[in-house]
Amino acid sequence: MSLSEEARERLADIVELQPTKNAELQERWGLAGGSEVHQYLESELGEYYYRDENSMICATPEAEELVGDGDGGTGERSVAGTELQRRIVGVLPGPDDEPQSVVATLHDVEATGAEPSVDDVRSALHTLTDKGLVERVRETVPTFRLAIERERIVIETGEN
């Protein structure tokens, strides 16, 4: 997707302000309301942002790399998440490795001592995909792998 200059500038605003909300972007962009912000995000920047568990607007790693300072996206990516998501990040294949199925991921997570259901693992994988940390590889059976290097990911669970 090729971005216009305006879209690239607005994406840079999201990267700078994240996590942010519609009102902050509305003020920055001079729009009439939060619904205009939402409409712009969906129509122009849909693949470059997501909303976290608090509905705050965040940039995907691809967005950060696209408008970044040229460091190649080597910075750490810290997101709020669950203990299960943290365990999944620990066992998923890396960005250059062969992806694995939900069931294979379940078995790898079980080997860490956790006992999630296959539905819990599937849901966590999709959440991590929405956050831009995991890539879904579309095949007959969906398979997953990390979208960025494991060392760059920090899942803050709020648990001790």
**Are 88 and 145 part of one and the same domain?**
yes
Please tell me the total count of domains within the chain.
Answer: 2
Q: Give one word for 156, left, alpha or beta, with left for phi > 0 and alpha for psi -120 to 50.
A: beta
Q: Which residues contact 29 (CB under 8 A, 6 or more apart)?
A: 10, 13, 37, 40
Answer whether 79's CB lies under 8 Å from 131's CB. yes
What lies within 8 Å, CB to CB, of 149 at 6+ separation is 94, 95
User: What pLDDT digit, counting tens, does each position of 49-102 carry?
Assistant: 988 777 889 888 788 888 875 444 556 777 778 999 999 999 999 989 999 999
Residue with tokens 């994988």: 125
Domain ends where: 34, 67, 100? 67
- 53 and 13 together in one domain: yes
The answer to the question of residue 122 being in a domain is yes
- Assess whether 48 and 100 both reside in one domain: no
Task: Give the CATH number, domain containing residue 101.
Answer: 1.10.10.10
In a domain, residue 151? The reply is yes
The pLDDT value recorded for residue 60 is 85
Q: Please check whether residue 43 lies inside any domain of the structure.
A: yes
Per-residue pLDDT, 10: 93
> Does residue 150 form part of some domain?
yes
Which domain-ending residue is among 67, 87, 103?
Answer: 67
Same domain for 84 and 60 = no
The per-residue pLDDT for range 13-37, each reduced to its tens digit, is 998 888 889 999 999 999 999 899 9
